[in-house]
Amino acid sequence: MTNIFRNLTAALGAVLLAAPFAGPVMADDHGDSHSDDAAPKWSIAIHGGAGTIRRDLMTAEQEAQYEAALQEALDAGAKVLAEGGTAMEAVQAAIIPMEDSPLFNAGRGAVFTWEGENELDASIMDGRDRSAGAVTGVTTVKNPILLADRVRTDSPHVFLMGEGAEQFASEQGFEVTDPEWFATQRRRESLERMKADALSAMDVDLKFGTVGAVALDMEGNLAAGTSTGGMTGKRWGRIGDAPVIGAGTYADNRSCAVSATGWGEFFIRVGVAQEICTRIRIASHPRYVECPEDAFGPDTVFVTCSVRGVSVEDAQGISDEVMAEVAELGGDGGIILVTPEGHALYSFNTAGMYRGRANSDGMNEVAIFGGEETGTGEPPDH
């Protein structure tokens, strides 16, 4: 009798205390919970910048080049996840091709500072333990996202800058890349035009080419990463949101993973990435699913556990609300988001955003202009 009472009490406590469940839960259009099997086993989203991106400003050839570059990055990250790799590995695999492409403002193809240099920023975060790494102002590291991750794993710090970050890279065995490798004629011309015509960075850039990726792996872990060259003509050691944990990058298994692109000063002021994840965590509500087999002893008679989750509509709404706050302050840009349920979403308050998403249910799409999405969680037509 005592054993039965103990089992019933333990089981009831599992419901009241919302015992954690290892896998994600998928919500349907009505907010009802499905079994774990209904959720995507993995999910990924990428971005390559947001801004004044319209068809009338691009040739068909340019559009095809960007779509191909986005697809290459998306496929690289998806391949890692499909083969059982971690979200952290997938994020880096997706970002590296974009850092290596002259089409984006990250790594090769980064914009120039006022002094005519390419200064690179990056950050990465693991949703399992919220460990993070970031670098800013590096000039000789080919793939800053890899250095950011090394800061996370092999240093006692989160954020390194300039010469210190370069010294750390050297001590960690990173090859020194000639700064000329990052330079492109197109970016030089943007700086020259800015200086000659006394323009702002907004006038010459038209878009923010920051790159990023967010992912959910088969173990239910989240990760986010972001890499950028900053803003054309930036001065005085300016740092934007991309390397700032909580502003341009954030990941927490309890809520979401976010990577941002846009006018960094405003994203820092709002704390965009963490703000979205915090609101999602607060808005999540209990759902009841079958407990894992090893949750209780063999004589347990109550086998329902609760998990917390958020619907795709709620996640989209929260993202749009935060981006609306950015707009109200005068900033623009966009974010990509993945939730523990496998929702891969975007939100942007610009004409377009270079983006893509894929999951284990077969979704695989890239898009450039507003209103192009076809899958669940389609953002509003901007």
CB 7 within 8 A of CB 297: yes
Express as a percent the part of the chain with pLDDT over 70: 78
Domain count, the chain: 1
**What distance in Å separates the CA atoms of residue 307 and residue 289, rounded to the nearest whole number?**
7
Stretch 93-117: mean pLDDT? 94
User: Does residue 369 lie within any of the structural domains?
Assistant: no
Q: How far is CA 240 from CA 125, 207, 245, 342, in A?
A: 17, 15, 11, 29
Instruction: Show the CA angle centred on residue 257, arms to residues 256 and 258, nearest 5°.
Output: 120
Among 213, 209, 208, CA closest to 94: 213
Side-chain half-sphere exposure of 81, counting CA atoms within 13 A? 36
Average pLDDT over residues 199-224: 81
For residue 258, which of 272, 268, 244, 270 has the smallest C-alpha distance?
272
The CATH number for 27's domain is: 3.60.20.30
What mean pLDDT value characterizes the chain?
84
Whether 368 is covered by a domain: the verdict is no
373 within domain boundaries: no
Q: Which of 333, 73, 78, 364 is nearest to 210 (CA)?
A: 333
> What region, left, alpha or beta, does residue 49 occupy, with left being phi > 0 and alpha being psi -120 to 50 degrees?
left
- With contact defined as beta carbons under 8 Å apart, do 122 and 243 qualify? yes
Residue 378 lies in a domain: no
Among residues 300, 203, 290, which one has the least CA distance to residue 25?
A: 290
Instruction: Say if 326 falls within a structural domain.
Output: yes
Cβ atoms of 134 and 123 within 8 Å: the answer is: yes
Q: Is 83 exposed, middle or buried (0-12, 13-18, 19+ CB in 10 A)?
A: exposed
What tokens does 7 get? 């089992």
Distance CA 169, CA 333 (A): 31
pLDDT for the residue 14: 40
List pLDDT tens digits, range 277-322: 999 999 986 655 566 655 555 555 555 565 667 899 999 999 999 9
Q: Is 65 domain-assigned?
A: yes
pLDDT tens-place string over residues 229-273: 998 888 899 999 999 999 999 999 999 999 999 999 999 999 999
39-215-87 Cα angle (round to 5): 105
Q: Is the pLDDT of residue 328 over 60?
A: yes
The reported pLDDT for the residue numbered 191 is 83
Token pair in block for residue 131 = 């460990």
Residue 353 lies in a domain: yes
Query: Residue 381: its pLDDT value, please?
Result: 40
Instruction: Indicate left, alpha or beta for 289 from its phi (over 0: left) and psi (-120 to 50: alpha).
Output: beta
State mean pLDDT over 359-380.
Answer: 74
Helix (H) or strand (E) holding 185: helix 185-196
Within a domain: 276: yes
d(CA 121, CA 113): 13
- Least-confidence region, from 83-92, 194-203, 370-379: 370-379
Q: Is 249 a catalytic residue?
A: no
pLDDT at 315: 96
Which is nearest to 249 in space by CA: 280, 229, 223, 231? Answer: 223
Bridge partner list, 355: 47, 367
Catalytic entry in 86, 210, 278, 339 = 210
| Alpha helices, H only, 255-371 | 264-270, 272-283, 312-329
What are the start-end ranges of the E strands in the chain? 43-51, 120-126, 131-138, 159-161, 207-208, 211-216, 222-228, 249-252, 256-262, 285-290, 304-309, 333-338, 344-348, 352-359, 364-369
| Domain that includes residue 239, residue range | 2-361
